[in-house]
Amino acid sequence: MNTGRTVFSQLMDFLPLAEFRQCVERHQGDYKTQSFSSLDQFLCLAFAQLTYRESLRDIETCLRVQHSKLYHMGFRAPISRATLAYANEHRDWRLFAAFAQGLIQRARDLYRGDPLGLDLEETVYAFDSTTIDLCLSLFPWAQFRRHKSAVKVHTLLDLRGGIPANVYVTGGQVADVRLLDQLRLEPGAFYLLDRGYHDFARLYAIAQACAFFVTRAKKNTQFSRRRGRPVDPSTGLRSDLTIRLTGPKTSHLYPDPLRRIHYVDLAKKVRLVFLTNNFLLPALTLTQLYGARWQVELFFRWIKQHLRLKAFYGTSENAVKTQIWVAISVYLLVAIVKKHLGLDISLYKMLQILSVTIFEKTPISQGLFEFEDNLAETERAIQLPLFNL
């Protein structure tokens, strides 16, 4: 029964606390800690994400005003912005990264059966990165241009359910293509890559791992045609060729045949050329598959708009990475709750409801189930018209 328990504590029930304690022990998160534990820090930052707190002082004020409820919400130590700031600066961010990876696996298991939108049984991933701009004077460790700092969030997104399979947080100076070396390639899976990952040595590594890639071709790619396949111009397809690279370097970096698909988006009047190592799927299916890569862009836009990733509670690398990993954990937690409760509302609307009911002592499912996507038409106001037409 959830009688008398806050919505926040009910939400935290979906966290695998046993796994969290294992992460704490593995990374010695509570080593020489007297009161403010790793769990207290996680709960504070999760609360900040759920309620859109702007600063450490904001977090402290909002939690202290509800001090009578904090113990039953899971907090075991007094909340102080100085203590939270110290924990963000010194407690290893890898603790929260490891915990988020566990949540990723749980969420992916729940969303594994979601439809892809295409008649395809294989797993499809989209890999890309987003840049979060930072102030150079406050974040000098993340400098990547002369007058600019930034942090990058590299994400391998499983297109079934929109759940990230892997996330890497780096400084803005790290080239996107280098993160391909960190991926654990899955045989038979498809990897959708933008032109920023156009490196034939790394693409050949994907092919050698028995996986497939679909990427955009560069205009200066040198190749020779080996054979062509018939296409239907009414679908937007212009050519479907088997090619070999002929450049002095690329021919050695990728010695196997490639498939080159020329497609015209009839609605936008845009010409696109794709390269892939898959010779089995129809050309139109591969172009539609690459179009689904846009989901990773929507994921980045969502987390930037609805999670606290524009302003940070600390300026050190450890504090920034801690906040990013907790934000990702909150996203995964809300996605897990949505699946467990069988809700048919968006994650954004769930966050909005949770943000204003976080201290209420009602069953968490009540407010979420009672919400209607389509608001009922309001009754006509009983008032005189402003103008007589």
Evaluate whether 169 touches 309 at the Cβ level (below 8 Å): no
pLDDT for the residue 310: 82
Average pLDDT, the chain: 90
Is the pLDDT at 383 greater than 60, yes or no? no
Is the pLDDT at 120 greater than 80, yes or no? yes
Least Cα distance to 50 among 107, 7, 18 occurs for 7
Is the pLDDT at 145 greater than 90, yes or no? no
CA distance 113 to 160: 7
Percentage of the chain with pLDDT > 90? 72
The pair of three-digit structure tokens given for residue 5, joined into one six-digit string: 């328990």
CA distance 330 to 324: 10
pLDDT for the residue 33: 85
pLDDT for the residue 152: 94
As a whole number, mean pLDDT of residues 211-228 equals: 93
Is the pLDDT at 372 greater than 80, yes or no? no
Is the pLDDT at 113 greater than 80, yes or no? yes
| 357-378 exposure pattern, b = at least 16 Cβ within 10 A, e = fewer | bbeeeeebeebbeeeeeeeeee
As a whole number, mean pLDDT of residues 192-203 equals: 93
Domain residue spans in the chain?
A: 7-93+323-370, 195-277
Q: Which range is least confidently modeled, 199-203, 264-268, 301-305?
A: 264-268
pLDDT tens track for 19-73: 999 999 999 999 888 889 999 999 999 999 999 999 999 999 999 999 999 999 9
pLDDT for the residue 376: 43
CA distance 7 to 53: 17
Is the pLDDT at 335 greater than 50, yes or no? yes
pLDDT tens track for 338-350: 999 988 888 888 9
pLDDT for the residue 153: 95
pLDDT for the residue 4: 73
pLDDT for the residue 3: 57
As a whole number, mean pLDDT of residues 266-276 equals: 90
Q: What is the pLDDT confidence band of residue 6, given thresholds at 50, 70 and 90?
A: very high
Fold classification of 195-277 is N-terminal domain of TfIIb (2.20.25)
Q: What is the pLDDT confidence band of residue 318, given thresholds at 50, 70 and 90?
A: very high
Provide the residue type at 199 as one letter.
Answer: D
pLDDT for the residue 364: 87
Conformational region of residue 74, where left means phi above 0, alpha means psi within -120 to 50, and beta covers everything else: left
The count of other CB atoms within 10 Å of the CB of residue 60 is: 20
pLDDT for the residue 32: 84
Q: What is the 3-state secondary structure (H, E, C) of the chain?
A: CCCCCCHHHHHHCCCCHHHHHHHHHHCCCCCCCCCCCHHHHHHHHHHHHHHCCCCHHHHHHHHHCCHHHHHHHCCCCCCCHHHHHHHHHHCCCHHHHHHHHHHHHHHHHHHCCCCCCCCCCCCEEEEEEEEEEECCCCCHHHEEECCEEEEEEEEEEECCCCEEEEEEEEECCCCHHHHHHHCCCCCCCEEEECHHHCCHHHHHHHHHCCCEEEEECCCCCCEEEEEECCCCHHHCEEEEEEEEECCCCHHHHCCCCEEEEEEEECCCCEEEEEEECCCCCCHHHHHHHHHCCHHHHHHHHHHHHHCCCCCCCCCCHHHHHHHHHHHHHHHHHHHHHHHHHCCCCCHHHHHHHHHHHCCCCCCHHHHHHHCCCCCCCCCCCCCCCCCCC
pLDDT for the residue 371: 61
Is the pLDDT at 382 greater than 60, yes or no? no
pLDDT for the residue 386: 42
Is the pLDDT at 252 greater than 90, yes or no? yes
pLDDT tens track for 172-181: 999 999 999 9
The count of other CB atoms within 10 Å of the CB of residue 30 is: 17
pLDDT for the residue 378: 40
